[in-house]
A and B are shown apart, each in its own frame.
Chain A
Amino acid sequence: MDILQHLMDGLLIAMQPYHLVLITFGGILGTIVGMLPGLGPATGVAVLLPLTFSMSPTAALITMAGVYYGAMFGGSRSSILINTPGDGAALAATFDGYPMAMNGKAESALAISAIASFIGGLISVVFLIALATPVAKFALKFGPAEYFLLMVAALAMTSSMAKGNMIKGFISTLFGLAVATVGIDAQSGISRFTFNILELQTGIDFLVVIIGLYAIGEVFKAFSDINSGKKIPQRKFGKIWITKEEWKKSWPAILRSTPLGFIVGALPGAGGTMASLMAYNNEKQLSKNPDDFGKGEIVGLAAPEAANNAASVGAFIPMLTLGIPGSGTTAIMMGALLMLGIQPGPLLFTQHPDVAWGLIASMIIGNFVLAIVNIPMAGLLVRVLSIPSKVLYPMVLGLAFVGTYAISNSVIDFYIMVMFGIIGFFMEKAKIPSAPMILAVIVGGTMEQSFRQATRISDGALSVFWGSPLAIALIAITVIFVGFPGIKKGFALLKSNK
């Protein structure tokens, strides 16, 4: 088996002592950032990304996988112990996690969150292994027109699934596409929208946009909570583990939530938040005692935690196989891959099998290491929560700036980053989703190139965009997703009429 051989090679690489040190180190740093209120995995990876710039691709990916998993573990720590989720995906963990901690069951809560994340993550990696190669092979059939339509479909999905309304999602998307057009046009050599600023000729690096939104913007948002009283987390724990009974209750929920989370995560734009909320509601409906949910029901913590981790693995499918990141974190990981000179997409698995499989293997190892680090060391790690955020946020800002400088060696990017931090802050206030904009900034360049290639091949005839069955299928998907809210309303009307 080719796949197993690749996976074994990847595992052997990931298990070298140097890589194990990196994964542990990245995991601990990620946990610390993830525990900061308001800061989640996307911020964690964004801020710690420059650590990997001088590493080999494999070492860099392994470190980032550690940071990623660490930040997710860290996020649920602060959800459970101080009722403050790191990001949307950790929100569902507060519903029953915090009440559990209040009921004196913090040990069980921390343990089940780690166990559920571990199982959810591990099973999803198996799904990922099974699906990645076929999807990549299928994507190889795409011509420029299909590729363009695929990106339109991904953007439409992201816009329609984002919170707030869809129109604002589209505006956010289009703004992102506009940002992506800044710089010298690769095909004609003409500078576009550079305002005669030399540094803008290479375009606006999307990593700078993402760091601006996730590091600067999120810290700005967090400023409003910084002055309200600080919650002191519990710091002394008994043995962090669960009882047999708790395990009996939780495992079916974990197994049900994992595939759900994986599928939702693989769809562009849906992501961990939706996956964990869906898993939570699902278990609540299936439960014999739905009234216990929200009062410290362990199932209500296990399900979203498993779904969240599964979704984060699922999100790697579109990024690795199609070059379209479905979530903020995978967007940053994709940026990191591009910095290392590796283009994610259908060819990744044939051209750089070592990178693709190295990443998959490091996700498995990262899962193990983080579970091992997080269960026994939880008491030690949560001490971070008692460091005043007034000290930590300025450091996060400091790291964001040094990271940006490391990307381009230019201080112009400082201004761009701060500008996007401010834009992100106001977008949040006006309830405009930022995820569509991020995706658009990332795929905008490729999208335009595919569009132009397609029209050049067809000599300007736009019929190329509906000339193949695949193209029509992609258009249909886009229409369904855009029309989905309307369709849902229609069904509701039909039901009420009956």
Chain B
Amino acid sequence: MEKQKKGNFDFLTGAISVIFGIIYGIMAFGLKRSPMGDPMAPSIFPLIVSGGLVIFGVVLLLKSNLEATKIAFRKIKENTTANDILSRKMIIMTVVAAIVYALIFHILGYVISTFLFVGFIMSVLEPKRIVKNLITSAIFSIIVYYVFFYLLGISLPMTPILNI
């Protein structure tokens, strides 16, 4: 039975769907009542959606089994290569960098924060050539700034002191 040995995440997906559906449904029910017309009007559609999430989640739970999800997780653990670890690290670093980017975006202005963000990710992906990366990302952020600001007329946060 080759098929049974194959892992999948269906059980987990079903469980998440049910839990999300319930929480979403409770929140939908708890919404303020509409001051005009049908007081429940704002909640009805979300309640239908929540019901659907729970129903299809349960169907998926019934069709799948916990064992398959366990196998899938075990397989991930067993088959992880050095490459996988590296790409996971890259994803985590990118997410962290994006959060920092959002935090410094208005403070440092577009050019500097983007230079740091793009330069950092380039260096995570290719740590051997940091200088080249920094030069590339500086050129990138300045070109994008000029294209957006002057050619497209879209205002981006200015960099303090330098006034670009």
- Which residues on A are within 8 Å of B, measured CB to CB? 50-51, 53-54, 165, 167-168, 170-171, 174-175, 177-178, 181, 185, 187-190, 192-193, 219-220, 223-224, 226-228, 388, 390-391, 393-395, 397-399, 401-402, 405-406, 409, 411, 414-415, 418, 422, 425, 429-432, 448, 451-452, 456, 460
Structural contact, B114 and A395, CB atoms closer than 8 A: no
The CA of A165 and the CA of B14, in the complex, are separated in Å by: 12
The CA of A388 and the CA of B155, in the complex, are separated in Å by: 31
B40 to chain A, nearest CB (A): 10
Structural contact, B42 and A405, CB atoms closer than 8 A: no
The CA of A89 and the CA of B8, in the complex, are separated in Å by: 25
A392 to chain B, nearest CB (A): 10
A460 to chain B, nearest CB (A): 7
Tell me which residues from 23 to 70 in chain B have a Cβ below 8 Å from any Cβ of chain A.
Answer: 24, 27-28, 31-32, 34-38, 41-42, 44-46, 49-50, 52-53, 56-57, 59-60, 63
Structural contact, A418 and B95, CB atoms closer than 8 A: yes
A149 to chain B, nearest CB (A): 14
Q: How big is chain B's contact interface, by range?
A: 35 or more
Structural contact, B49 and A177, CB atoms closer than 8 A: yes
Structural contact, A411 and B106, CB atoms closer than 8 A: yes
The CA of A184 and the CA of B3, in the complex, are separated in Å by: 47
Residues from chain A with a CB closer than 8 A to the CB of B10 are 165, 168, 430
B121 within 8 A of A: yes
Residue among A174, A391, A399, A432 with the highest chain B CB neighbour number at 10 A: A174
The CA of A393 and the CA of B24, in the complex, are separated in Å by: 36
Residues from chain A with a CB closer than 8 A to the CB of B91 are 220, 223, 425
Structural contact, A397 and B37, CB atoms closer than 8 A: no
Given known contacts A181-B45, A397-B94, is B99 in contact with A415 (CB within 8 Å)?
yes
Residue among A54, A388, A390 with the highest chain B CB neighbour number at 10 A: A390
Residues from chain B with a CB closer than 8 A to the CB of A177 are 45, 49
Given known contacts A192-B46, A193-B27, is B63 in contact with A167 (CB within 8 Å)?
yes
Q: Identify the closest chain A residue to B152 (Cβ).
A: A54
Structural contact, A414 and B53, CB atoms closer than 8 A: no
The CA of A224 and the CA of B91, in the complex, are separated in Å by: 10
List 8 additional A-B contacts (Cβ < 8 Å) besides A223-B91, A227-B86, A402-B144. Answer: A174-B21, A220-B91, A223-B125, A391-B136, A397-B94, A405-B156, A411-B105, A415-B99
Structural contact, A178 and B49, CB atoms closer than 8 A: yes
B102 within 8 A of A: yes
Q: Identify the closest chain A residue to B147 (Cβ).
A: A51
Given known contacts A50-B154, A53-B152, A391-B122, is B140 in contact with A431 (CB within 8 Å)?
no
Structural contact, B83 and A227, CB atoms closer than 8 A: yes
The CA of A398 and the CA of B115, in the complex, are separated in Å by: 9
In the assembled complex, 22 residue pairs joining A and B whose CB atoms fall closer than 8 Å, in A order, are: A167-B60, A171-B14, A174-B49, A174-B52, A178-B46, A181-B49, A187-B37, A188-B42, A193-B27, A193-B46, A223-B87, A226-B90, A393-B125, A398-B140, A398-B144, A402-B144, A402-B148, A409-B155, A418-B98, A430-B13, A431-B8, A452-B45
Residues from chain B with a CB closer than 8 A to the CB of A187 are 34, 37, 41-42
The CA of A223 and the CA of B117, in the complex, are separated in Å by: 17
Determine which of B17, B98, B152 lies in contact with A171 in the assembled complex, contact meaning CB atoms within 8 Å: B17
